[in-house]
Amino acid sequence: MKILVLTGGESPEREVSMRSGAAAARALIRRGHSVAVLDTVRPLGADGIKYYSSLKELDCRLFSLTNDISAPVFPLNSDIANAVKTADRVFLALHGGIGENGRLQAMLDCLGVRYCGSGAQGCALAMDKIKTKLLYEQCGILTPRFTVYVDGQKRAPVPPCYPCVVKPADSGSSIGISFVFSPCGLDEAMKKALSVCKSVILEERILGRELSVSVLDDGPLAVTEIIPKSAYYDYASKYKNGGAREITPAPLDKKLYTRAMRIAKNAHSALGLKNFSRTDLILKNGTELLYTLETNALPGLTETSILPQAALTEGIDFGELCEIMAQA
Please report, for residues 9, 122, 220, the alpha-carbon distance to residue 136 in angstroms, rounded to integers and kept in the order given.
Answer: 29, 14, 17
On the question of pLDDT at 87 being above 50, the answer is yes
Q: By percentage, how much of the chain surpasses pLDDT 70? A: 89
What is the rounded distance in angstroms from the CA atom of residue 1 to the CA atom of residue 87? 8
Q: Where is pLDDT greater, at 222 or 234?
A: 222
The string of DSSP letters for 100-120 reads TSSHHHHHHHHHT--BSS--H
| Residue 20 CA: distances (Å) to CA of 199, 304, 305 | 27, 10, 9
229/200 same-domain check: no
In-domain check, residue 20: yes
Question: What CATH number is given to the structural domain containing 198?
Answer: 3.30.1490.20
Residue 4 or residue 40, greater confidence: 4
Point out the least confidently predicted range of 112-121, 148-157, 215-224, 312-321: 148-157
Total number of domains constituting the chain = 3
Residues 22 and 155 both lie in one domain: no
CATH assignment at residue 32: 3.40.50.20
How many C-beta atoms lie closer than 10 Å to residue 290's C-beta?
23
Q: Are residues 66 and 194 in the same domain?
A: no
Same domain, 163 and 269: no
Please state, as a whole number, how many other Cβ atoms lie within 10 Å of the Cβ of residue 322. Answer: 28
- Maximum distance among all Cα pairs of the chain, rounded to whole angstroms: 61
| 38 and 61 part of one domain | yes
Asked, for residue 110, whether it belongs to a domain, the answer is: yes
Q: Are residues 238 and 134 in the same domain?
A: yes
- Judge if 18 and 151 occupy the same domain: no
- For residues 186 and 222, membership in a common domain is answered with no
Rg (CA), the chain: 19
What CATH code is carried by the domain that includes residue 281? Answer: 3.30.470.20
Per-residue pLDDT reduced to its tens digit, 225-283 = 999 876 554 445 444 555 679 999 999 999 999 999 999 999 999 999 999 999 999 99
Question: What mean pLDDT is predicted for residues 55-61?
Answer: 85
Residues 257 and 300 in one domain: yes
pTM score: 0.90
Q: Are residues 191 and 303 in the same domain?
A: no
* 136 and 177 both lie in a single domain: no
pLDDT given at position 61: 78
Are 117 and 274 spatial neighbours (Cβ–Cβ below 8 Å)?
yes
Give the lowest-confidence range in 47-61, 95-109, 274-288: 47-61
Domain interval for residue 300: 126-140+207-327
pLDDT-wise least confident of 26-30, 109-113, 136-140, 226-230: 226-230
Domain annotation covers residue 120: no
**Does 16 lie in the same domain as 54?**
yes
What are 18-52's pLDDT values in tens digits?
Answer: 999 999 999 999 999 999 999 888 777 666 789 99
C-alpha distances (whole Å) from 53 to each of 89, 222, 253, 317 are: 15, 33, 46, 20
Task: Tell whether 316 is covered by a domain.
Answer: yes
Residue 121 lies in a domain: no
Percentage of the chain exceeding pLDDT 90: 70
pLDDT at 123 over 90: yes
